[in-house]
């Protein structure tokens, strides 16, 4: 087994594997997909939007509650797509500063301390090669993505109120 002696080439194999995986066209996760090429989570949101749009069309007068629900569902969709876009970006390149951001997000979420890994970019750049940084960023993306999908609705409601 040569792999252990060549961590760099293994990191490349890993990121190539990530690129090859079939993914949800919205959020980018590799969970089991429906026929619409969306994961179940995203497909549920898509169906909810369709159902609400259909209801709205059949309404004769404005319905505040429906409008609100639709606004939230569209925010959820936007959030899913943003996660998918983040994955595309990190498969292109992950700078040391990006990795610092990921670590800060993780620390904020878990340790409730967003400054824990502040200013570590230089050290991270010296420690990890470009491809190793991508592997790490992917693992963080996957971890935080699961968390993001759990509280997506709450964030969408918040954004629907404050507007963006």
Where does this chain bind Zn ion (CB under 5 A)?
Answer: 24, 26-27, 39, 42
Cα separation, 137 vs 155, whole angstroms: 23
Q: How far is the CB of 85 from Zn ion (least distance, A)?
A: 12
Looking at beta carbons only, is 76 or 131 nearer to Zn ion?
Answer: 76
Q: Which is nearer to Zn ion, 11 or 73 (CB)?
A: 73
| Smallest separation, CB 41 to Zn ion (Å) | 5
Structure tokens that stand for 35 in this block: 């026929």
Q: How far is the CB of 126 from Zn ion (least distance, A)?
A: 36
Please list, residue by residue across 125-152, b when 16 or more beta carbons sit within 10 angstroms of its beta carbon and e when fewer do.
Answer: beebeebbbbbbbbebbeebbeebbeeb
Nearer to Zn ion among residue 42 and residue 135 (C-beta): 42
């Amino acid at each position: 087994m040569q792999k252990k002696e060549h961590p760099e080439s293994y990191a490349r194999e890993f990121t190539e594997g990530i690129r090859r995986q079939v993914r949800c066209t919205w959020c980018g996760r590799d969970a089991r997909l429906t026929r619409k090429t969306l994961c179940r989570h995203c497909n549920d949101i898509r169906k909810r939007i369709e159902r609400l749009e259909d209801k709205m069309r059949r309404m004769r007068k404005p319905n505040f509650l429906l409008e609100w629900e639709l606004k939230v569902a569209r925010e959820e969709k936007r959030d899913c797509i943003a996660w998918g876009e983040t994955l595309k970006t990190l498969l292109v390149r992950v700078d040391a500063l990006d990795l610092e951001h990921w670590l800060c997000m993780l620390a904020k979420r878990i340790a409730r301390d967003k400054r824990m890994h502040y200013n570590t970019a230089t050290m991270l750049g010296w420690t990890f090669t470009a491809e190793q940084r991508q592997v790490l960023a992917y693992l963080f993306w996957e971890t935080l993505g699961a968390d993001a999908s759990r509280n997506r609705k709450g964030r969408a409601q918040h954004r629907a109120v404050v507007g963006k």
